[in-house]
Structure 1
Amino acid sequence: MVGIFKASTPTLLIRDPELIRDITVKSFGHFHDNELFLDKDVDPLLGRNPFFMKGEEWRTTRVHLTPGFTSGKMKWIYPLLEDVSEQLVKFIEKQCIKASDEGLDAKDVCMRFTLNNVGSCAFGLEAKCFEEDNNEFRQIADRFFTPEGWQTTKVFIVSVIPFLSKFISIKFTPKDVEEKLENIVSQTLKYRDENNVVRNDFLHILHQMMKECKDGSFTSIDVTAHAAGFFGDGYETSSVVMHFILYQLAADLDSQTKLRQEINKVFQQNDNTLPYEELQKMPYLDAVFNETLRVHPPLGSLNKVCTENYTYVPKDKSVISKPVVIEAGTTVILPLYGLHRDPKYFDDPNSFRPERFLGGNKNKIVKYTFMPFGEGPRACLGAKTIMEIVMKMVPGVLIRNLRGPWDTLGHQLKERRYVSHSGPFNTLKKSFWKNGKR
């Protein structure tokens, strides 16, 4: 535990896995809120996202949404993801024919794939991002997380001086984007109701939740808000992680070869298909996925707020000799990036080594030192379901359809030249493939 200041605000940086367990699980009731709060009366869409909600509102929303993220529901949606994967293969075929020596823009490919998935699974429409470079749906997605004008300044002020969030209201989603999404959802649901159309997608799940909710706590605006939440989870986060996976595989031909062997074997055993159950059982793909998240977590840290005075009694008296009281209102930072790259917990932490997550090695990882999507009740709801499936499909499909080996132009450069920490997510500035031919 380290005391720091955010501007003039005392803040605690937590590095001890046992204390992290207390904060996220054991004593969750004392730390149940995230630092950044959005008022749903000011931002009706993002303000209803569980990440930005507090207290009882968060609990109620979590109860509503949890049934929509079961493995059974994900298996139900999986055929839609397979359809988008087929579109991806056709897109890559055309791009390989047209590609110059610069190769393919991996970031662009990942964003097209994830946005098509969002369009299909969350809004029930064909986003056509493989056919069109900058259509209306992509413009909506790109602007969804873009505060306008004075809002950007307010986000900065609140991030530096958290207690001001009580007095400063923030709106991320531009009004016109909000109206367009509401119109898309209302028109789609109206058409389905009038024509008795049932489509196995997330929008249908949300619509059923609204119909079954008799107390009026889950309304049409909630349906739109949680469908729009896929822009954060299914578009931004997923495309960022996939981009890093492809980059790491391109920079590590040994890992790429091992993964290609595993994927080809699965396809051969399943009539050249990748069934849902098999995607879930591929150990090396899972190891590559987790090691990428360790080296490049989407968020550098998770900032929690102490909601009720908490007394920490240290086990190691040589480090902290007496109990420490964390007062209500104190921000505590869980430094994901620092934990994931701490040599105390990971040997040679800056190296990409998927074997860390294979077999017995996985059991050696100290609990609460690897948590890319959080832990406990407030962990990302879709991380182990829809997001993981989507993020694993791209490397699976591309390795199968591109003989390779892949390479990436300039991967010998220092990581700091390629990784940007300037936005809400850690991202690659640019990445191109070459030599990836069918």
Structure 2
Amino acid sequence: MYVLLLVVPLCFLVLWLYVKWTGMQNYWTNLGVPQGPVHPIFGSMSFLQKKNPGVWLTELYQQFKPAPYVGIWVFWRRGLVVNCPELSRQILVKDADVFRNRNLASGKSDPMGALNLFTVDDPLWSSLRRRLTLVFTGSKLRGWTTLYQSKVADLVYRIDSDNEKGINIDLRSIFADFSTDIIGESSFGVQCQATRNKTGPLREMTKEFEKYSTWRGLAWSSIFFLPEAVDLFRFSFWPKHTVDYFKKVFKMMVEERGGYERELDGKRDLLDALLKMRQDAKKDNQDMDLDILLSNAMIFLQGGYDTSSTALLYTVYELAYHPEIQQTLYEELAQAKEALGGKEFDAESLATLPYLDAVIKESLRKYPIMGWLDRLALKDYKVNEKLTIPANTVVYVNAIGMHKDSTYFPEPDKFKPERFLPENAQSIVPYTYMPFGEGPRMCIGKRIGQNTVRYGLAAVMLNFELVPRAKYPKPNDIPIEKKGLFYLPGIPLSVEFRRRK
């Protein structure tokens, strides 16, 4: 009797799963949309923890090219991967109101991961974005010139010092030290010396961000693709000990500013903007939880340091294998430095250098740190005359797929900065190149990231010649991280820094 009570429900469950799976297998095909194999539980996502999403999206793009879109199942949720620049513009810009929110989210069990600009939905997202945009004005960035000049001097000192000690410089580590210092001092006003000393309060945090255990990989996979599982398994965006540590650091930073009640204009830096945001909410009789401030401070630290350090890593690595490109870039920088008459570079002078800009853009084309842009349809949406997707369908704009499409970027596996020189830039099809995203939810820190990479790369190139090291892979053979979701190298990388005479 008891066996029967167990077997009957189990049979119904198996039958229900089979019917559900069969419907998933045929759903997109019946709509005339190409789709690949569907796993009965994972849908199209069985690659997770086995392959980086950027690698999977590139393969999906090539498999179904020239289809403008491909149907997938994000576990049991309908998904559409968009491989077309015109549709990308339509979704990200023209009809952005329908796609205000993202699929990724953390849960109630993880307020620190759930309340930041990266993961939160409207209307809180709009409020945060509007207030935090004040941090990244042109005048504010110009005010950080002395900081950048100081940190690139530290970077050159560090490379010289490591060379003297015979250390094989880990590119991710040294550029993470550099970019953490930039974010720490510009956003929080905290004195940081990681570039020189390899450590510091904020650098200890960003080192934790770089660790991807199996558990953290599962947590991020859920946050990005199956948010419903976050509370069930009590996953978190950041490790708990890292959050606890940052709370202590944040409290110290606030106390050094005179506490939460000191009068502020919110225009000094990110910390000021966050404190002012809380004060304004209090004046309006609104309760702004401290977790909102902490969460946004942490996401700016991670997003700012990780993207810039990764861009520098890949760019320097590629240049070591392309001496002719390296020499052209060096000559442009040397001439520009000479024209300044002994002055140091500032953001404006670096921004006017076409080859420097082209080298960085080509690196971001080949190695976009996040190769997709996810949006959630808030209502039924007509994609084109052939297809209407129902509300709650998740849409992935396949940026990395288009970055690596030979139709838009001939010989996409080659590192060719000339694609982005002024005389060639007009030939780039709009919305085929999106390293910072597009539309209202594009990267808020784009300009600070560009400045960080320009300053860091210029300092390296003017002082050192880059040479490949034996036993390291060529650029096209770099294994990509599998447990994490960002497009990061799966192994440490190094090049030789030879002092220029």
Q: Same fold (TM over 0.5)?
A: yes
Among 110, 128, 135, the residue aligned to 1:68: 135
Deviates more, 1:216-225 or 1:125-134: 216-225
Deviates more, 1:157-166 or 1:269-278: 157-166
Which residue number in structure 2 is paired with residue 229 of structure 1? 299
Are the aligned partners of 2:157 and 2:196 in contact in 1 as well (CA < 8 Å)? no
Among 180, 184, 205, the residue aligned to 1:140: 205
The CA deviation string for residues 275-304 of structure 1, in whole angstroms up to 9 with x for no partner, is 121122111111111100101110122222
Which residue number in structure 2 is paired with residue 318 of structure 1? none
CA shift for structure 1 position 136 = 4.6
How do 1:116-127 and structure 2 match up within 5 A? 116-127=181-192
Cα 1:112–1:150, aligned 2, differ >3 Å: closer, same or farther? Answer: closer
Are the aligned partners of 1:148 and 1:172 in contact in 2 as well (CA < 8 Å)? no
Among 258, 267, 280, the residue aligned to 2:351: 280
Among 7, 14, 22, the residue aligned to 2:90: 22
Which residue number in structure 2 is paired with residue 433 of structure 1? 495
Are the aligned partners of 1:38 and 1:169 in contact in 2 as well (CA < 8 Å)? no
- SS of 2:434's partner is coil
How do 1:335-346 and structure 2 match up within 5 A? 335-346=398-409
Among 218, 226, 249, the residue aligned to 2:319: 249
Cα 1:149–1:415, aligned 2, differ >3 Å: closer, same or farther? Answer: closer
Among 325, 329, 334, the residue aligned to 2:397: 334
Among 73, 85, 94, the residue aligned to 1:5: 73
Listed as ranges, the gaps of 5+ residues in structure 1 are: 314-321
Which residue number in structure 1 is paired with residue 118 of structure 2? 51
Pairing 1:86–2:153 present: yes
- SS of 2:71's partner is strand
Q: Distance in 1 between matches of 2:124 and 2:225?
A: 25
Deviates more, 1:69-78 or 1:132-141: 132-141
Normalised by the length of structure 2, the TM-score is 0.77
Cα 1:87–1:134, aligned 2, differ >3 Å: closer, same or farther? Answer: closer
Q: Distance in 2 between matches of 1:196 and 1:43?
A: 31
Q: Distance in 1 between matches of 2:106 and 2:130?
A: 19
Cα 1:358–1:298, aligned 2, differ >3 Å: closer, same or farther? Answer: same
How do 1:242-391 and structure 2 match up within 5 A? 242-270=312-340, 271-313=342-384, 322-383=385-446, 385-391=447-453
Q: Distance in 2 between matches of 1:223 and 1:10?
A: 33
Q: Distance in 2 between matches of 1:140 and 1:285?
A: 31
Q: Distance in 1 between matches of 2:100 and 2:361?
A: 26
Are the aligned partners of 2:155 and 2:196 in contact in 1 as well (CA < 8 Å)? no
CA shift for structure 1 position 310 = 0.7
Q: Distance in 2 between matches of 1:73 and 1:249?
A: 31
Q: Distance in 2 between matches of 1:426 and 1:37?
A: 20
Deviates more, 1:268-277 or 1:181-190: 181-190
CA shift for structure 1 position 158 = 5.7
Amino acid at match of 1:389: N
Cα 1:253–1:370, aligned 2, differ >3 Å: closer, same or farther? Answer: same
How do 1:78-227 and structure 2 match up within 5 A? 78-99=145-166, 103-133=168-198, 135-144=200-209, 153-157=218-222, 159=224, 161=226, 170-193=235-258, 201-212=269-280, 214-215=283-284, 216=286, 220-227=290-297
Q: Distance in 1 between matches of 2:123 and 2:258?
A: 32
Which residue number in structure 1 is paired with residue 57 of structure 2? none
Q: Distance in 1 between matches of 2:115 and 2:144?
A: 23
Are the aligned partners of 2:73 and 2:79 in contact in 1 as well (CA < 8 Å)? yes
Q: What is the number of equivalent residue pairs in this alignment?
A: 425
CA shift for structure 1 position 182 = 2.5
Q: Distance in 2 between matches of 1:262 and 1:391?
A: 16
Are the aligned partners of 1:409 and 1:431 in contact in 2 as well (CA < 8 Å)? no
CA shift for structure 1 position 165 = 6.3
Listed as ranges, the gaps of 5+ residues in structure 2 are: 1-68
Cα 1:129–1:375, aligned 2, differ >3 Å: closer, same or farther? Answer: same
CA shift for structure 1 position 147 = 8.4
CA RMSD of aligned residues (A): 2.9
Among 456, 460, 474, the residue aligned to 1:394: 456
- SS of 1:179's partner is helix
The CA deviation string for residues 21-74 of structure 1, in whole angstroms up to 9 with x for no partner, is 1110001111111111124x5333332221201121111111111122111111
Q: Distance in 1 between matches of 2:337 and 2:399?
A: 35
